[in-house]
Amino acid sequence: MLHAFLPVPQNRGLSPTRLRESPVCRWRFFVIIPRMFGKTQTIWPLLVLLGVCLFGLTGQSVFGEPTDGSAAETETNTNAIAMPAVPGTRLPADDRTQDGWAVTLSPLSPPAQTISELFYLILGIMVVIFLVVGTTMGVLIFRFRASRHKTDGEPPQIYGSKPIELAWTLGPAIIVFVLFLVTARSIFEIRSTTAPPDAVEVEVIGHQWWWEFRYKKSGVVTANELHVPVSSDGTRRPVYLKLTSADVIHSFWVPQLAGKTDLFPGRENKMWFEPSQAGWFIGQCAEYCGTQHAHMWLRVKAEREDEFKKWVADQQKPAVLDAAVNAGRNLFLSNACANCHTIRGTHAKGVFGPDLTHLMSRETIASGIQLNNKENLTQWVQDPQTIKEGCRMPDMKLTSDSVEKIVAYLLTLH
């Protein structure tokens, strides 16, 4: 089919009508499209330039250097999903520290690995297509530009070139078929099947705007920070999640561990992951779910088996009962706090807000956007709306003295 790419024969002697019907011209497709822009053929080089720029941007976000998340890099890093940190907040770090960033394309769990491989395969195919199309177009634009082929009528027209028609029908069909096959294989690979006996099973409930985690076997209930064991070479400890929602649709997404899975009210979705490295993994609700959707962060801590077991044992204990903070506890229990929060070992059994039994075992509050310390807790209890505007916890109009006492009580809940 090489003849299909030979130069256009000169047709100056033919009328426009004859030209259109001329069987010798094989360049109809390539000639007609530039003509749609009339004399503004310069638009083609511009489009190519735009394509190159877009590719450059995408390439940078894909291949950019991982970050240590320092504030200086916050503006320029493109290898991460921007986690809009509350000013002054620096999240707790670990060896594989994401430190406030959810790093994409740095998979540390089988489903994320599969997705990443699929991404690079598709990217590779797209790059080849881009180069072939871009190069061909670039050559044609300059080889056949108007100044070198001045004709009075229309340029040569061609009809029915079998090699070309076959090439541009079969080529894309084969590419689409290959993409279909690899995508289907990936879907089956990452699909959640029945949990193996040694899996950690957790029920995840999405709320506006926080995450509730209920561990199936141990009965542990916590919020926003999911602790899981890390899988090492010899031992596989997969984590199987059953996801549902208490209100609107949310989406559970920790890029380094697995793809996104939506949480629907009245429906149960499943997913699994298996972290191969210890440390914090940062995620984010990936489905718009209302005002504070962007602040519905998600943190997964993968830890050694013994650390995980200790964490579970601590979480199973009832709340600490410290007589020194009786005043704060009584205030908590006599105010509306107890209607929305559970503190096991007290009569606070609300389920609308996060379980606070072991509040101080968590590193962050407000679904990962603030460090869990006295200062932030005080501001939160005083008026949560100043930290997370629109959140479901109202300003309780407590006096400063009451706030101080309640916070003193909360600080004992290790």
Which residues of this chain interact with ligand CUA, rule CB under 6 A? 206, 209, 250, 285, 287-289, 293, 296
Q: Pick between residue 83 and residue 296 the one whose CB is nearest to ligand CUA.
A: 296
Shortest Å, Cβ 301 to ligand CUA? 20
Q: Pick between residue 105 and residue 285 the one whose CB is nearest to ligand CUA.
A: 285
Tell me the residue type at 85.
A
- Beta-bridged to residue 411, according to DSSP, are none
Mention every residue, 6+ apart, whose C-beta is less than 8 A from residue 63: 79
Q: Pick between residue 257 and residue 410 the one whose CB is nearest to ligand CUA.
A: 257
Q: Pick between residue 120 and residue 288 the one whose CB is nearest to ligand CUA.
A: 288
Mention every residue, 6+ apart, whose C-beta is less than 8 A from residue 203: 213, 214, 215, 216, 241, 242, 243, 244
Shortest Å, Cβ 248 to ligand CUA? 7
**8 A C-beta contact, residue 257 and residue 271:** no
Shortest Å, Cβ 211 to ligand CUA? 8
Q: How far apart are CA 170 and CA 225, in angstroms?
A: 50
Q: How far apart are CA 172 and CA 40, in angstroms?
A: 30
CB atoms within 10 A of CB 329: 23
For 111, 121, 152, the CA distances from 190, given in Å and listed in that order, are 5, 17, 61
Q: Pick between residue 209 and residue 272 the one whose CB is nearest to ligand CUA.
A: 209
Q: Pick between residue 254 and residue 348 the one whose CB is nearest to ligand CUA.
A: 254
Shortest Å, Cβ 244 to ligand CUA? 13
Shortest Å, Cβ 354 to ligand CUA? 14
Q: Pick between residue 243 and residue 337 the one whose CB is nearest to ligand CUA.
A: 243
**Degrees to nearest 5, angle at CA 299 with 85 and 358:** 110
**8 A C-beta contact, residue 333 and residue 347:** yes
**8 A C-beta contact, residue 82 and residue 69:** no
Q: Pick between residue 79 and residue 208 the one whose CB is nearest to ligand CUA.
A: 208
**8 A C-beta contact, residue 300 and residue 271:** no
Shortest Å, Cβ 77 to ligand CUA? 22
Shortest Å, Cβ 247 to ligand CUA? 9
Mention every residue, 6+ apart, whose C-beta is less than 8 A from residue 396: 335, 336, 337, 381
Mention every residue, 6+ apart, whose C-beta is less than 8 A from residue 36: none
Shortest Å, Cβ 209 to ligand CUA? 6
